[in-house]
Copies of this chain bind each other. A is one copy, B any other.
Amino acid sequence: MDKSEAAVIERLAADTKIGYSLDRKFYCDDAVFEADMDRVVSRKWIVAGHVDRVRNKGDYFLYKIGNESIIIVRSGESTINAFYNVCRHRGSLICTKPEGRVARLTCGYHAWSYGLDGALLAARLMPADFSKKDNGLHRCHIRVFYGFIFINLCDEAPVDFDASFADLAPYLDFHGFADAKIAYAQSYPTTANWKLIVENFVECYHCAPAHPEFCSMHPPEALIAFDAVDKYLPALRAWETRAASLGRPLGTVDDGPESSHLRLLLQRTIREGYDSETQDGRPASSLMGKRLGFDQGRMYLSFSPFTQLVATNDFAVLFLFTPRSTLHTDVDLYWLVDRHATEVDVKRMIWGWDETTKQDKDITENNQAGILSRHYQPGRYSEHERRVVTFQQWYLAQFGHTLACTNSGA
């Protein structure tokens, strides 16, 4: 982030009012996007995919974020590496296909060849003083945690992973994510700034008007503001007792705006009489993880604004929100099921979130289009959007700005 970018953010942040949407420049300005990449995106642990994509040695896939292409490749039973997809010779992309299996990482240009550990193994006809040792692939920080592959683009030492995520272990373990497989994947590239996509995802004020399929699968009281409202509490408490008896670890995680990753973990019921988040409530696959039986619950886990996870009993959906440029964000969904599931009804499994994500794509693209108007001005949030306010506080905190936490008078 250079000085002019810092000045842009400084000026904009000073004008931001708590309880109101952000100034249009936050959503439209290339200098802000550059600053976002430097100060936010590149400093967080972001999920790039699930280990099921790289089960065997040499399996790789590419993860594209901003202008970067990252190679995620398995080099051994217990090791997955992440490298910048840039040859140390003349900068060519090394892998050009989105996924595959390789014995070595060989650049198609001049055949410089790297091991799966990134070491330069072969470079023909180089000068005598050329050091192979100094010309391994640039590494990207990586950590695999219960099946999820986290990367961190930070040039220096990144924020400590375990300090950030270790407390989620019991939940991830219970759900069996390390032992999951990808049953379906779909991309929904969206013409909108990444912050609009996050802001849309963290509030359910729009669910009733915009997401009929989604609403049909949940009790209305559970949709409001992600908070357990009074009239929902008795049902929730009863479910918690039942769910605990079926082995589910209860608990909540609700990071504040000063946290590194703004995590959120909530556990709720689905629609009465439903066993799964499907159109008719019947499961689409077999039970995941350490469950003893269907408990009619769901978990919403936000690892960070960039990585969301929604788990019902028999499948889970992983959402990757990846900034590419000021007005373009990749939205990629992976439906996870138990690795040993043999009969997965894909059509029924994806019904809810495929429709809902198409709707969200339309919604956020319309939101972005409206914000381009000279007449857009920051608008007031409802009480059901307080998670958006929290996200904005967290976002501005990445630049050293604090928004007072009171909503009064706003």
Identify the A interface with B (CB < 8 A).
19, 21, 24, 66-69, 84-94, 96, 106, 108-111, 123-127, 129-130, 135, 138, 199, 205-206, 208-210, 362-363, 366-367, 369-377, 379-380, 382-384, 407, 409-410
Contacts and interface: CB of A to CB of B under 8 A. Distances in A.
B373 A85 contact: yes
B363 A108 contact: yes
Contact of A111 (B68, B209, B367): B209
Contact of A205 (B110, B138, B209): B110
A155 to B, nearest CB: 9
Stoichiometry, as copies per complex, reads 3
Given A85-B370, A370-B85, A380 B127 contact: yes
A272 B54 CA distance: 47
Contact of A370 (B87, B124, B409): B87
A199 B86 CA distance: 17
Interface centre among A86, A96, A208 (most CB of B within 10 A): A86
Nearest to A359: B108
Q: Is the interface of A mostly helix, strand, loop or mixed?
A: loop
A1 B130 CA distance: 37
A327 to B, nearest CB: 13
A312 B208 CA distance: 53
A379 B89 contact: yes
Contact of A379 (B68, B87, B366, B410): B87
Given A108-B209, A109-B366, A376-B86, A91 B127 contact: no
A110 B410 CA distance: 20
A316 to B, nearest CB: 27
Interface centre among A66, A129, A380 (most CB of B within 10 A): A380
Contact of A127 (B67, B127, B383): B383
A20 B93 CA distance: 18
Nearest to A388: B90
Contacts of A94: 370
B86 A380 contact: no
A368 B338 CA distance: 41
B382 A126 contact: yes
Contacts of A366: 92-93, 96, 108-109
Nearest to A200: B109
26 contacts: A21-B90, A67-B374, A84-B375, A86-B376, A88-B377, A88-B379, A89-B380, A90-B199, A91-B367, A92-B366, A93-B370, A96-B366, A106-B209, A108-B209, A108-B366, A109-B363, A110-B206, A111-B209, A123-B382, A124-B205, A125-B382, A126-B380, A127-B380, A127-B383, A129-B409, A135-B379
